[in-house]
Structure 1
Amino acid sequence: MQTVASESGSTLRNYASILLLLGGICLGSLVGFIFGNKVEGVKFIGDIFLNLLFTAIIPLVFFTIASSIANLQKTERLGKLFGIVAGVFLLTVLISAAVMAGVMLLFPIDQGNTLRTIAAQALIDNPASAHQALTPSAGASLTQVLTVNDFFELMARKNMLALILISLLVGFATLRAGEKGKAFAQFLDSANEVMKQLLAMIMKIAPLGLGAYFAYQVGVFGPQLLGVYVHPLALYYATCAAYFVIFFSLYAYFAAGRLGLSIFWKNNLTPALTAIGTCSSIATIPANLLAAEKMQIPDYVRNIVIPLGAPIHKDGSSMSSIIKLALLFAMFGKDFSAPEMLLAIMGITVIVSVVEGGIPNGGYIGEVFAITAFGFPMEQALPVAMVIGTLVDPIATLLNANGDLVSAMMVTRIVEGKDWLSSRLNK
Structure 2
Amino acid sequence: MVEGTKSSVWQSYRYPIMLLICIALGAIIGILMGKDAEALKPFGDIFINMMFTIVVPLVFVNISSAVANIVDLKRLGKILGVMLAVFVITGIISSILMLVGVSIFPPAEGIKVELQAPEEINQLNTADQFVQAFTVSNFSDILSRKNMLALIVFSILFGLSVSLAGEKGRKVAEGLHALSEVMIKMIKLLMYYAPIGLGAYFANLVGVFGPDLLGSYARAMAIYYPISFLYFLLAFTIYAYLAMGKGAPRLFWKHAISPAVTSFATGSSVATIPVNLAATEKIGVPKDVREIVIPFGATAHMDGSCLSAILKISFIFGLFNMPFHGLDTYLTAIMIAVLSGVVMSGVPGGGFIGEMLIVTMYGFPPEALPIIAMLGTLVDPPATMVNATGDTVASMMVARIVDGKEWMKKKILGQEETASM
Contact 2:130-2:343 within 8 A present in 1 as well: no
Q: 2:317 aligns with which of 318, 325, 329?
A: 329
Contact 1:11-1:278 within 8 A present in 2 as well: no
Contact 2:220-2:315 within 8 A present in 1 as well: yes
Distance in 2, Cα, partners of 1:162 & 1:266: 41
User: Residue deviations 1:104-155, cap 9 Å, x none?
Assistant: 112223543x43x332xxx4xxxxxxxxx43342xx5x6xx43xxxxxxxxx
Q: Specify whether residues 416 and 277 from structure 1 end up closer, same or farther in structure 2 by C-alpha distance, changes over 3 A only.
A: same
1:164 maps onto 2:129 in alignment: yes
Distance in 2, Cα, partners of 1:256 & 1:84: 16
Residue correspondence of structure 1 range 390-409 to structure 2 within 5 A: 390-409=377-396
Residue correspondence of structure 1 range 284-363 to structure 2 within 5 A: 284-363=272-351
Partner of 2:92: 94
Distance in 2, Cα, partners of 1:193 & 1:272: 22
Q: Which structure 2 segments of 5+ residues have no match?
A: 1-17, 39-62, 148-207, 417-421
Q: Specify whether residues 263 and 347 from structure 1 end up closer, same or farther in structure 2 by C-alpha distance, changes over 3 A only.
A: same
Q: 1:413 aligns with which of 375, 385, 400?
A: 400
Distance in 2, Cα, partners of 1:252 & 1:192: 29
User: Residue deviations 1:175-218, cap 9 Å, x none?
Assistant: xxxxxxxxx44266489969xxxxxxxxxxxxxxxx9xxxxxxx
Q: Specify whether residues 311 and 229 from structure 1 end up closer, same or farther in structure 2 by C-alpha distance, changes over 3 A only.
A: same
Contact 1:298-1:412 within 8 A present in 2 as well: yes
Residue correspondence of structure 1 range 6-405 to structure 2 within 5 A: 78-109=76-107, 111-112=109-110, 114-115=111-112, 117-119=113-115, 123=116, 133-137=117-121, 145-146=124-125, 161=126, 163-164=128-129, 167=132, 171=135, 184-186=137-139, 189=142, 228-379=216-367, 381-405=368-392
Deviation at 1:406, TM superposition (A): 0.1
Contact 1:11-1:277 within 8 A present in 2 as well: no
TM-score scaled by length of structure 2: 0.63
For 2:333, what is the secondary structure of its paired residue?
helix
Distance in 2, Cα, partners of 1:402 & 1:191: 23
Distance in 1, Cα, partners of 2:237 & 2:145: 38
For 1:376, what is the secondary structure of its paired residue?
coil
Contact 2:308-2:383 within 8 A present in 1 as well: yes
Number of residue equivalences: 300
* AA aligned opposite 2:325: S
Contact 2:268-2:347 within 8 A present in 1 as well: no
User: Residue deviations 1:352-404, cap 9 Å, x none?
Assistant: 1111124552111211111111111112x112111111111111111011000
Q: Specify whether residues 324 and 7 from structure 1 end up closer, same or farther in structure 2 by C-alpha distance, changes over 3 A only.
A: same
Contact 1:111-1:333 within 8 A present in 2 as well: no
Contact 1:260-1:421 within 8 A present in 2 as well: no
For 1:267, what is the secondary structure of its paired residue?
helix
CA RMSD of aligned residues (A): 3.7
**What is the identity percentage for the equivalent residue pairs of Structure 1 and Structure 2?**
37
* AA aligned opposite 1:363: G
Contact 1:368-1:378 within 8 A present in 2 as well: no
* AA aligned opposite 2:99: A
Distance in 2, Cα, partners of 1:375 & 1:93: 24
Distance in 1, Cα, partners of 2:107 & 2:294: 35
Distance in 1, Cα, partners of 2:144 & 2:236: 38
For 2:114, what is the secondary structure of its paired residue?
helix
TM-score scaled by length of structure 1: 0.62
Deviation at 1:422, TM superposition (A): 3.2
Contact 2:108-2:219 within 8 A present in 1 as well: no
Q: Specify whether residues 279 and 359 from structure 1 end up closer, same or farther in structure 2 by C-alpha distance, changes over 3 A only.
A: closer
